[in-house]
Amino acid sequence: MPSFSPPDPHPSGARPPAIPAQFVPQHVAVVMDGNGRWANERGLPRNEGHKAGEASLVDVVAGAIEMGIPYVSAYAFSTENWKRSLDEVSFIMRFTVDVLTRQLPTLQSWGVRILWAGRKPKLWKSVIKQLEFCEEQTKDNTACTLVMCVNYGGRAEIADAAAQIAHDVSEGKVKPGDISERKFAQYLYNPEVPDVDLFLRSSGEQRTSNFLLWQSAYAEMIFFDILWPDVDRLTLWDAVEEYARRDRRYGGAQDAIASPSDSSTHSSGK
Ligand code: IPE
Ligand code: IPE
Ligand code: MG
């Protein structure tokens, strides 16, 4: 039986905010953006920013474990990132293998289960091999699930699910009339991973860039101006505190009629 130990506390000694369990997100999606700008601002090439971002990811996972967040999805390489220079793409491919190799013992010691979400075509064989090795090595871990999204695209995932459903219909395994939202979700890359509660993006950009489109239909979005290499678990905890204050209505509505004495706070100024 492997023995697990919790992550070391944050170097500042900070502890996670005390938030009632029902307001802790079950799935946090993280767009790790801003590495290139972080490096260029320091007169360094973009790849130095990717290197500096490794510690941020590990610290955010530590913070998720400390807060009891069961699922974290990390956007590491999108289906659109192949547009970058050959130098940068090759670096990211090799670096992804290195990060997984370097961090596996730590993640394993914390009890983290690693999953991969993404498409195989085009992705380097060495990356697929290492992702699958990590999945196998950590499959029984229960402290937190880290979904590494590599060669991932939300539209690709939905198109792949549709293609697989069409295949199963053609084989008579599924009837067209049985295709519901629930059925469709069973064809996503990791169907057991719940919908995204909290969608985070660093670097100030306010867009999804094709991340977890299906799963984020009702996610709370938080965009912050910090570049990814400057993010750590404190950034995650701040975001979770804001998330806990949000009113999630899912399309529902309830009367909350102001009493006459409150009316001055909502007056139109007339
Ligand atoms: C995110 O940082 C990492 C990847 C997309 C692989 P960027 O490389 O996009 O950094 P910026 O956004 O150009 O600063
Ligand atoms: C999204 O960031 C992809 C990852 C963080 C892996 P990008 O930097 O690729 O997205 P855009 O180009 O700003 O939309
Ligand atoms: Mg970017």
What would the pLDDT profile of 30-55 be if each residue is shown by its tens digit? Answer: 999 999 999 999 999 999 999 999 99
Task: Give the model confidence (pLDDT) of 63-77 as tens digits.
Answer: 999 999 999 999 999
pLDDT band of 262, cuts 50, 70, 90: low
pLDDT (average), residues 179-189: 98
* Number of neighbours of residue 134 by Cβ within 10 angstroms: 23
* % of the chain with per-residue pLDDT over 70: 96
pLDDT at 260: 85
Alpha-carbon span 155 to 79, nearest angstrom: 9
Residue 245: what are its φ and ψ, rounded to 5°?
Answer: -85, -10
CA of 76 to the centre of ligand 1 (A): 9
CA–centroid distance for 246 within its chain: 19
Q: Is the CB of 81 under 6 A from ligand 1?
A: yes
**According to DSSP H, which parts of the chain are helical?**
35-41, 46-67, 86-110, 125-137, 154-170, 181-185, 233-245
Q: Which atom belonging to ligand 1 lies closest to the Cα atom of 40?
A: 14
The residue to mutate among 209, 211, 228, having the most atoms of ligand 2 within 8 angstroms of its beta carbon, is: 209
The residue whose CB lies within 8 Å of the most ligand 1 atoms, and thus the one to mutate among 30, 31, 32, 33, is: 33
pLDDT of residue 200: 99
- What is the SS3 assignment for 140? coil
Is the pLDDT at 270 greater than 80, yes or no? Answer: no
Q: How many residues does the chain have?
A: 270
HSE-CB for 137 with a 13 A CA cutoff: 18
Q: Which amino acid appears at position 193 of this protein?
A: V
The whole-number pLDDT of residue 58 equals: 98
Structure confidence at residue 3 (pLDDT): 81
**In which band, very low, low, confident or very high, does the pLDDT at 184 lie, cut at 50, 70 and 90?**
very high
Please report the pLDDT score of residue 269 as a whole number: 39
236 or 260: whose pLDDT is higher?
A: 236
Q: Does residue 33 have its Cβ closer than 6 Å to ligand 1? A: yes
For residue 104, the 8-state DSSP code is H
Per-residue pLDDT, averaged over 73-92, amounts to 98
Catalytic residue among 81, 190, 210, 238: 81
Is 60 exceeded by the pLDDT of residue 134?
yes
pLDDT score of 106 more than 80: yes
Ligand nearest to the CA of 34: 1
Ligand 2 geometric centre to CA of 169 (Å) = 35
Dist CA 53 CA 37 (whole Å): 12
Cα angle vertex 114, ends 111, 115, to 5°? Answer: 150
Q: Is the CB of 84 under 6 A from ligand 1?
A: no
Which positions ≥6 away from 185 have C-beta within 8 Å? 191, 214
Q: Which atom of ligand 2 is nearest to the CA of 77?
A: 6
How much is the pLDDT for 1? 55
Per-residue confidence band for 112, with pLDDT thresholds at 50, 70 and 90: very high
Q: pLDDT at position 267, please?
A: 44
Name the least confident of 32-36, 39-43, 211-215, 263-267: 263-267
pLDDT at 131 over 50: yes
| pLDDT (mean) for 213-234 | 98
- Over residues 151-181, the pLDDT tens digits come to 999 999 999 999 999 999 999 999 999 999 9
